[in-house]
Amino acid sequence: MKKKIAIQGIKGCFHEIATKKYFYKKKYNIIKCKTFNELTYFVSKNTTYLGVIAIENSIAGALIYNYNLIRKKMLKISGEIYLYINHNLMILKKNNIKNIKKIISHPMALLQCKNYLSKYPKIKISEYRDTAEAAFFIFKKKKKNIAAIASKEAAFIYNLKIIDKNIQTVNKNFTRFLILKNNFNYKKNKIFNKVSFFFKLKNNIGEFYKLIKVIFNLNINITNIQTLPRKKKPWEYIFYIDITFNVINNYLLMKKKINKINNFYYILGEYKNSIKI
C-alpha cells in the first residue's frame, strides 16, 4: 500500500519539495493540508499517515508552534531533512513590476526575505497560507497588482514569470523538516545518533544546570534548544532539546542519569542526523 504523507501546502510548496527529496524513489500519496494544525491532526488520527513538517529555518529561526503541536498530539519524529530554500519574486507572464502594489507569501518566507522587502516600503506585504498557494492565487485570479514569493518550481507550475531570484536575506538559506509518525506506525530506529526530547524544569536554582551537566559529561552535543513558557504555570518552562552523539552507550547512560533528576522529560524521536548541506 502506498504511504500517505501529510504536508502543509499545495503543489510546488517547499514541504512538497522536501518530501520528494526525503522519500526519493518511494511510492506515496501526498495529503495537502491548509495548516500545520491540520497536518498534525491528520497524522495523529490516521494510523497509516506520515507527516513532513518545517521546524526551523537558518534565517528566520524556529517554528516553535510546531514543536508544541508535535508534543500535544503525541507524535513521534522518525527522521529529518535539511532543504536549501531559494526564494523568487514572481508575477503574471505579461505583467510588469511597475504594476505591483502587494507581495504575498508564507510568513516564514516573508521573514527570510525581509531585507529584500524593505527596499519596497510602498508595497504592501501580506501573509498567505503557503508560498505555492500565493503563486496559484495570482495565476488563477490573473492578479496584475500582486507578486508572490515562492519556489522556481511554483513559478513553472503556475505559469508565472520570475522577476527577481535568490531574494532571501543570505544565499545560504536552509529549512529543517521533521518526518512525523504516530504511535501506531512509529517503529524505533535501530541506528540513530540524534534525539529530540522535551524537558519540564521546576523553577529551582540549578535545575537546568543539572541537566546540562549530565549531557556535557557524557560528551553529547546539544545542537538546538528552544524554550517555551508553560501556560498554566507562569515562569516555568518547557525546553525542547536536540542532541547528537557518536557513542550510543553515552546516550543510554544519559537517559539513566536524567531519570534521576526530579523533572519530567519525554522523547519525541530517536533518528539519524541528516547532513546539513
Ligand X SMILES: O=C(O)C(=O)C[C@]1(C(=O)O)C=C[C@@H](O)C=C1
In angstroms, rounded to a whole number, what is the distance separating the alpha carbons of residues 72 and 91?
39
**Closest approach of Cβ 62 to ligand X, in Å?**
10
| Member of 40, 43, 67, 130 binding ligand X (CB under 6 A) | 130
Strands of the chain (E only): list them.
3-8, 28-33, 49-57, 61-62, 76-84, 88-92, 102-105, 124-127, 146-150, 160-165, 174-181, 194-201, 221-229, 237-244, 264-271
Binding segment for ligand X (CB under 6 A), chosen from 7-15, 114-122, 189-197, 250-258, is 7-15
In angstroms, rounded to a whole number, what is the distance separating the alpha carbons of residues 84 and 97?
26
Q: Give the SS3 label for residue 257.
A: helix
**Closest approach of Cβ 119 to ligand X, in Å?**
20
Within 167-196, which residues bind ligand X (CB under 6 A)?
175
Which of 6/201 has CB closer to ligand X? 6
109 binds ligand X (CB under 6 A): yes
- Residues, the chain, total? 277
**Closest approach of Cβ 33 to ligand X, in Å?**
11
**Closest approach of Cβ 55 to ligand X, in Å?**
9
| Member of 52, 69, 108, 146 binding ligand X (CB under 6 A) | 108
What b/e sequence results for 125-161 when a residue is b if at least 16 CB atoms lie within 10 Å of its CB, and e otherwise? beebbbbbbbbbbbbeeebeebbbbbbebbbebbebb
Which of 14/240 has CB closer to ligand X? 14
54 binds ligand X (CB under 6 A): yes
Q: Please, which residues have CB within 8 angstroms of residue 121's CB and are 6 or more apart in sequence?
A: none
Determine how β-strand 49-57 pairs with β-strand 3-8.
Answer: parallel
| Member of 95, 131, 168, 226 binding ligand X (CB under 6 A) | 131
Which of 171/262 has CB closer to ligand X? 171
**Closest approach of Cβ 190 to ligand X, in Å?**
30
Q: How many residues line the site for ligand X (CB under 6 A)? A: 14
Site mask, ligand X, residues 14-53, x = CB under 6 A? Answer: xx--------------------------------------
6 binds ligand X (CB under 6 A): no
106 binds ligand X (CB under 6 A): yes
DSSP codes joined into one string, 198-251: EEEE-SSTTHHHHHHHHHHHTTPEEEEEEEEE-TTSTT-EEEEEEEE-S-HHHH
In angstroms, rounded to a whole number, what is the distance separating the alpha carbons of residues 138 and 145?
9
Within 68-97, which residues bind ligand X (CB under 6 A)?
85
Q: By the criterion CB under 6 A, which residues form the site for ligand X?
A: 9, 13-15, 54, 57, 85, 106, 108-109, 130-132, 175
